[in-house]
Amino acid sequence: MAETHSFTHTPLMTPTISPTRSKPCNPPEHSINLMVVLAVIVCAFLCALGLNTMLQCVFQCANRILTEPLQWIASRRLNSGLKKTEMVALPTSTYTHSCASPSSPSNNICAICLTEFSDGDRIRFLPNCNHRFHVDCIDKWLLSHSSCPTCRNLLKPTDSVHSLHTVVS
């Protein structure tokens, strides 16, 4: 008798690999988020720095206004310039070489434009100090200052009581 074997074909067991369910890591996405956070921090720092600087300026200006002595404010107002009528009233003359001072050549130079006086130049003398300047040079100066540019003597009367009164009121 013939033996019949029935062979059933059983497949070999091969291990099956199931995919893991982990999320893939996207490094560009994380670096973009990190850059945004860093940019926000830098902007906040710069804004805080700007606000701090502005507040310091405001406090310093307020402190200066509150603590300046009234005499200093009055002296600033005294040296704020002459009126046109006061300026024109100052004495002028025509320069001639014969009136020049040979002992002191610095008296023959306009201290504003630093050029020597020449014959025919219109010069202006300042009272109290007798310093001389070209009329055009000293007139520009006197529109914004009430003092001599050389010695800083004030040309306006220094009535401190009157000047303090105008500052306070």
pLDDT tens column, 103-148: 555 678 898 999 999 999 999 988 888 899 999 999 998 888 888 8
Long-range Cβ contacts of 124-127 (<8 Å, 24+ apart): 124/90, 124/91, 124/92, 125/90, 125/91, 125/92, 125/93, 126/90, 126/153, 126/155, 127/90, 127/91, 127/155
* pLDDT given at position 122: 93
Six-digit token string for 157: 């009367």
* pLDDT given at position 97: 76
Question: According to the CATH classification, is domain 72-168 in 3.30.40.10?
Answer: yes
Q: For the chain, which residues score pLDDT lower than 70?
A: 1-28, 69-79, 99-106, 156-169
* pLDDT given at position 164: 37
* pLDDT given at position 166: 39
pTM over 0.85: no
* pLDDT given at position 163: 39
Domain ranges for the chain, please list them: 72-168
